Amino acid sequence: MKLKKLGNTELALTSIGIGTSVMGGTGWEFSFGPQDDTDCISAIHSALDHGINWIDTAAVYGLGHAEEIVAKALKGRSPRPFVFTKCGIVWDRQGRTRNSLKAGSIRQELESSLHRLNTDAIDLYQIHWPIPDGEIEKAWTEVARLQEEGKVRYIGLSNFNVMQMERAHRIVPITSLQTQYSILARQAEVGVLPFAQQNNIGVIAYAPMGSGLLTGGLTRDEIAKFSVGDFRRRMSNFREPRLSLNLEIAETLRTIGGRYGRTAGEVAIAWVLRNPAVTGTVVGVKNRVEVAGVMGALEFRLAEVEAAEIEQAAKRSLLRRIIVRVTEVARDLRAPAKAYSPSRERRIRDSK
């Protein structure tokens, strides 16, 4: 199995890593709805048995629950995969989250993550969001200090733009950037991915299957039945008029995959991995069936003709997407002004 080094580290990663946001279950802002912990643990075991050698999680996923699931799944496992987690979002006793990049908060978050993950050191510790922007430098300095102390092996960023990365990079070199990247979300191609490639920053792409839209397995009826707690019910990509455009892309991927006995999701992942700036991609799974539906992407790669076919499908819907976006902007301009809040900013960005 081909491995790729992550940025300036000695970590040689498989092209796919296990994503755990879905394993967080209910009770937090970006929940995918109720999950079965036993199924989630079984999914991790299955993925590791297929050769995957890294897991990505975050303290906020399920308000600590996803990290606990990872610890249970890895108990007694050998060899142990690399474990990555994130900081920068904290919560109160009522489960209400807020962004914090204060040094003391980050240090406390790390200690809590170490406890939940039942480990002495984190392989890659990432600042989850660059919010508040004014605290980036102090936060990055503190994360670097934790690395010097041996509590984390490597340090990275998540959801940062180029200017924010430049500010951090002047303090301590960035190991990696985690960014959303898929056929449906290509903003990173302008600026972020080129900057990472030029500065030897590893790139971990998340949501390569568009939070499930590009798996080929989601229908309108299934989307309509999403649980009340599933955050995707709030995302414009899962509502008309964008939904039809997205399902058309998924059908193109399903057709291409069918020629090789691959799923639409595996084709979507292969498309992401074609970009030379990408080190690997996080793939969220919650049971063994979902693992089986993506493991082919460890080896499957798109030929130029299939990549061109996907680009043509994307271009066919581009004008319609522009019209949709213009309509949305016009609607927002007519709407009453709303007070700013970091959590609302995240919701808006995640829904686009």
Which of 43, 15, 1, 10 is CA-nearest to residue 203? 15
Taking the C-alpha atoms of 297, 196, 103 and 351 in order, what is their torsion angle to the nearest 10 degrees? Answer: -60
Range of the domain at 252: 4-350
Catalytic residue among 61, 125, 154, 181: 61
Identity of the amino acid at 151: K
Count of helices and strands (H, E) across the chain: 12, 12
Q: Which helix (H) or strand (E) holds 123?
A: strand 122-127
Q: Which residue type does 318 have? A: L
**Crossing angle for the helix pair 103-117 and 136-148, nearest 10 degrees?**
50
pLDDT in tens, the chain (352 residues): 899 999 999 999 999 999 999 999 998 989 999 999 999 999 999 999 999 999 999 999 999 999 999 999 999 999 999 999 999 999 998 889 999 999 999 999 999 999 999 999 999 999 999 999 999 999 999 999 999 999 999 999 999 999 999 999 999 999 999 999 999 999 999 999 999 999 999 999 999 999 999 998 888 989 999 998 899 999 988 988 889 999 999 999 999 999 999 999 999 999 999 999 999 999 999 999 999 999 999 999 999 999 999 999 988 876 776 776 777 787 778 777 554 344 444 443 443 3
340 catalytic? Reply is: no
Whole-angstrom CA distances from 116 to 51, 112, 122, 215 are 24, 6, 11, 31
The pTM of the whole model exceeds 0.85: yes
CATH of the domain at 30: 3.20.20.100
Instruction: List beta partners, residue 203.
Output: 177
Residues β-bridged to residue 90: 98
Distance CA 261, CA 254 (A): 10
Q: Into how many domains does the chain fold?
A: 1
Q: Rounded CA gap, 115 and 107, in Å?
A: 13
DSSP-assigned letters across all residues of 181-201? -BTTB-GGGTTHHHHHHHTT-
